[in-house]
Structure 1
Amino acid sequence: MAKKQSKDKANGGGTIALNKRARHDYHLEHRHEAGLALQGWELKAIRAGRANITEAYAVIRDGELYLFGAQITPLISASSHVVADERRTRKLLLHRREIDTLIGRVQREGYTLVPTALYWKGNKVKAEIALAKGKQTHDKREAAKDRDWNREKARVLRQHNKAG
């Protein structure tokens, strides 16, 4: 079993980039896995850990999904004959039925499409896209209160278990 894990790590298994800000700013509901159409230099840069999706969002254009604002900083030595744009628009690859349901939810119910993670699946880069509704200020304060209360509760339980 340990050999399989080391093999996955050698192939780049695991998370590339997380969008922690999305959990703070949005109520995340349904999550979808989407492929990402990348160029060769982008894949090399992602393997080197140069991806950032904190300011990224997904948009529907002409019945297809695109990822805007994702930053993949090019390597200096990756390619000399290609002009690299680190914030270019990248196409998200989903089945037609999934795209149609997402389009319906976004247009009718007012959802936003937010990328929450980039990760490796085999040798391919996948993006996790979530249907989200924006939080208001009082929702953010309530979430912070709940988080602080859970932390305090865990601290008290740890001290109680040490004493007893």
Structure 2
Amino acid sequence: MAVYAQNRKARFDYDILETFQTGIVLYGFEVKSVRAGRVDLKDSYITVKNNELWLLNAKIYPLQPKNIPATYRENRSRKILAHADEVKRMIGKIREARLTIVPLQMYNVKRYLKLECGLAKSKRAFEKRERIKKRDTEREIERSLKN
């Protein structure tokens, strides 16, 4: 399993409550670009339209810019493929508990590209600062133990 892109910012900005694996609808040249690592999941999110999941703001940069359609947009909306019962469960949790779905990483399973998504709750600013302080103190302790 090769990981092509990770959304590290999502793990900092959100508490990930649950993760699930989905497929994604891509053009052929987009698949080649993803496998070359030319994908950016930062600031992307997943929304619900007509009881379907859609990935927004994920940028897939073309591998060969001259060999793509003139109307191609790097951050176009892309449909997420998941089982119907899983989609209904996610929609219910989003509406009930005011959660959001964020993409965490894009990787392959055998020959298929998969998107790991997380059901997440947004962190507040003080929680983020608290986590940074905790991480810094742990680093200081590790440094002092090494010396």
TM-score, normalisation: structure 2: 0.93
Instruction: Give the C-alpha shift of residue 95 in structure 1.
Output: 0.8
Q: Which residue of 2 aligns with 1:144?
A: 132
Q: Which runs of 4+ in 1 moved over 3 A?
A: 77-83
Cα separation, 2, equivalents of 1:48 and 1:81: 19
Instruction: Give the C-alpha shift of residue 77 in structure 1.
Output: 5.9
Q: Which residue of 2 aligns with 1:54?
A: 42
Instruction: Give the C-alpha shift of residue 88 in structure 1.
Output: 1.0
Per-residue displacement from partner, 1:5-41 (whole Å, max 9, x unpaired)?
Answer: xxxxxxxx41111111111111111001111111101
Q: Paired residues, what number? A: 147
Q: Which residue of 1 aligns with 2:9?
A: 21
Q: Which residue of 1 aligns with 2:119?
A: 131
| 1:38 aligned onto 2:26 | yes
Which of 1 and 2 has greater Rg?
1
| 1:109 aligned onto 2:101 | no
Match of 2:60 among 72, 92, 95: 72
Per-residue displacement from partner, 1:64-122 (whole Å, max 9, x unpaired)?
Answer: 10100000011226735564221111111111111111000101100011111111111
Cα separation, 2, equivalents of 1:114 and 1:105: 14
SS in 2 for 1:132: strand
SS in 1 for 2:63: coil
Percentage of identical aligned residues: 35
Tell me how large the CA RMSD over aligned residues is: 1.5
Letter in 2 for 1:155: R
Q: Which residue of 2 aligns with 1:85?
A: 73
Cα separation, 1, equivalents of 2:15 and 2:68: 42
TM-score, normalisation: structure 1: 0.84
Cα separation, 2, equivalents of 1:123 and 1:20: 24
Cα separation, 2, equivalents of 1:139 and 1:81: 44
